[in-house]
Chains A and B, each alone.
Chain A
């Protein structure tokens, strides 16, 4: 039965490979999608479309649409023949008839709920005696990881889940669970390899975190980490009796909290580097603003890396940098404002020719545009920290409003001259 179904499937596949055939009077023939126009015939080929005059065409051999072929195939499937129906469903899927294929798979499951191949095609997985869709299986796997059911994850669930993940582009999500399950089971070398793969393929922030885990595991290949400080860090302040969950000393990286503590240590290293750059930037602010800006940028990179390892651990430093950058821009805008005022005074006091007056007004509009651009930059810098930089944002808004009204007056002046 299975062999018959396979043969039928192969026959279907071979048939489906061909397309419309256009045969010309000169003997040449082309396979593609044919469209008949008023006085010509077009054929769409893999490498482009060619048009021939009707006179050149000897004959056209139209093939049936996949939908029509599917209907024909379904008509031949014997009632209750699940394997043949499955082969037809797979053919439909290969033809891009995904919805039709899904309907057929569901039809199969109505009669054979445990048809493993169909479940597999649908991304279903049997966990704890129950078939689940892929996303539900993934969530359940996460739950089992949190619950500490590592063995069942590694032996039964993840090997299947990782295969199901490939066509769904969710390999990273499953590899993440796999790597943590291996780490918590003490399979440090395997976990390191998987975290390395995750670091190579994940987006930037996650890649930084995975990269840090890889470094931690490589530096401590025996799975032992030496905690220099209690963890969580706020525990000693907030609770004298309970104390921290982890005391300083040797501990296993297979414990989730130990890995967190190790990541926090790595983040702290980045913060230390960032702070040194921040100090350097502060000292350069007055004498060399450009060099200070560059240092702030470098410091921000360190703090971003720290935040990627432990969310928000360096947030207050990033707020500080934003505040300092805004202060620097405000200093520049104050200088711009003084220049503008000087131009304004000239405009009022000097006897200017009409041409010079016009030039002066245009220059002032440009000055306002410059300031407007800088205030826009302030708003962009402050945007990620709306609750921390409230005043900065309010000032920028108020200044923008003022500038807008001044600009309107100047623009009207230019218009009036015309």
Chain B
């Protein structure tokens, strides 16, 4: 390379740089360097330094850099200073022109508030109700009592049962729509029949399997869509079957809400059953143990089979249900609420599970993803079972509906 060429290059490069600076103006360049320095602190986990530097930029009396509040907020959120993070996000909202950034700030404020609140894990009825209450709930009268709430009309042969079921139904519906189905609306009315015992239930709940203690139905009658849940008040020993409140009612209600959401589209069986089990207030740790044991053994229903099977070929029902619960719970924990909602939407439009997941997280299609997903789920199932084994004997179920 001779000197003349080098000189030409130098001139060209300088002109290029000058043109570029002229095109974008000097403004952002002034703050770019300190912003980048603050971001470096943030990346290196030096949250206090990042916050301090960004605060100086954001609070500059002459030329405040409003966008620097994003760094302040992120730094505070990462070190758990949630009140401060919310304040910084608010300041970011007030000073930022970008829709994208404003949406993010809004979401993070919500997320900080959620993190501040105590986990709202419902207390099972079997723990709330004392002997006297249980005895009262176990009585069966001749008369049918009707109790109504916002979404439910409950009929039972015990006024306390009718009232309790109506209250529990509302609480469960809200929880299922909010936590399980990621903000699903349910503007409908449901009839709930609480039959005195299994004989009464079998006689009145159409098509209900003998062994079941509850069922849901969604039928068209005289042009009207009738939503209905049938429950059994007392167990074989004649005592109030508290399980209807902790498991059967939320389970059947979840089926109903899911079915309503999917409309005419097919709900994959694993998800239908998995979500319903996830909706139950008391978690059956045996399912977790079974799923954990099966993924490491020969009995395993491999993920592609689990996703494809229907009622006619589910194989060992206990194992199928355990794995369905495990996989649905895995997805529910690993996806954000927004992503889970998207996942359900794409399933509804006819996507296969793996495609729906890739769409929900908005990631490029990748042939290896199905195998990676199976491996990640199996690892999770084994890990969850290990935790249950470690906690075995403790009363409280170890898993909440916490998300990553």
Q: Assess the B35–A316 pair: CB atoms within 8 A.
A: no
Q: Assess the B98–A192 pair: CB atoms within 8 A.
A: no
Q: A221-B24, A221-B32, A254-B36 are in contact. Are A237 and B373 (CB under 8 A)?
A: yes
**Chain A 209-251 near chain B by CB (<8 Å), digits 1 or 0:** 0000000001101111011110011101111100100011111
Q: A189-B23, A190-B20 are in contact. Are A313 and B101 (CB under 8 A)?
A: no
Q: A49 vs B139: C-alpha distance in the bound complex, in angstroms?
A: 117
Q: Shortest distance in angstroms between B365's beta carbon and chain A's nearest beta carbon?
A: 5
**Chain B 66-105 near chain A by CB (<8 Å), digits 1 or 0:** 0100110110011000000000000000000010110110
Instruction: State which of A120, A159, A189, A238 has its C-beta within 8 Å of the C-beta of B24.
Output: A189
- Cβ contacts under 8 Å, B104 to chain A: 226-228, 248
Q: Assess the A193–B19 pair: CB atoms within 8 A.
A: yes
Q: A252 vs B32: C-alpha distance in the bound complex, in angstroms?
A: 10
Q: Is B61 interfacial (CB-CB < 8 Å)?
A: no
Instruction: State which of B13, B70, B373 has its C-beta within 8 Å of the C-beta of A250.
Output: B70
Q: A193 vs B35: C-alpha distance in the bound complex, in angstroms?
A: 21
Instruction: State which of A222, A237, A249, A311 has its C-beta within 8 Å of the C-beta of B78.
Output: A249
Q: A268 vs B338: C-alpha distance in the bound complex, in angstroms?
A: 14
- Cβ contacts under 8 Å, B65 to chain A: 222
Q: Assess the B1–A120 pair: CB atoms within 8 A.
A: yes
Q: A409 vs B241: C-alpha distance in the bound complex, in angstroms?
A: 75
Q: Shortest distance in angstroms between B16's beta carbon and chain A's nearest beta carbon?
A: 7
What interface size band does chain A fall in?
35 or more
Q: A193-B20, A226-B104, A228-B107 are in contact. Are A186 and B36 (CB under 8 A)?
A: yes
Q: A240 vs B33: C-alpha distance in the bound complex, in angstroms?
A: 35
Q: Assess the B355–A316 pair: CB atoms within 8 A.
A: yes
Q: Is A370 interfacial (CB-CB < 8 Å)?
A: no
The number of chain B residues with a CB under 8 A from chain A is 66
Interface residues in B286-322 by Cβ distance below 8 A to A read none
Question: Which B residue's beta carbon lies closest to that of A219?
Answer: B98
Q: Assess the B1–A316 pair: CB atoms within 8 A.
A: no
Q: Assess the B20–A117 pair: CB atoms within 8 A.
A: no
Q: Is B380 interfacial (CB-CB < 8 Å)?
A: yes
Q: Assess the A223–B32 pair: CB atoms within 8 A.
A: yes
Segment among B38-46, B164-172, B253-261 that sits at the interface with chain A: B38-46
Q: Is A315 interfacial (CB-CB < 8 Å)?
A: yes
**Chain B 1-41 near chain A by CB (<8 Å), digits 1 or 0:** 11001101110110011011101110111011101100110
Q: Assess the A189–B20 pair: CB atoms within 8 A.
A: yes
Question: Which A residue's beta carbon lies closest to that of B351?
Answer: A316
Q: Assess the B71–A250 pair: CB atoms within 8 A.
A: yes
Q: Is B335 interfacial (CB-CB < 8 Å)?
A: yes
A residues at B contact (CB < 8 Å): 116-117, 119-120, 159-160, 162-163, 186, 188-194, 196, 218-219, 221-224, 226-229, 232-234, 236-240, 243, 247-252, 254-255, 264-265, 267-268, 271, 310-313, 315-317
Per CB-CB distance, the 5 closest pairs between chain A and chain B, nearest first, are A193-B20, A221-B28, A249-B74, A312-B364, A233-B361
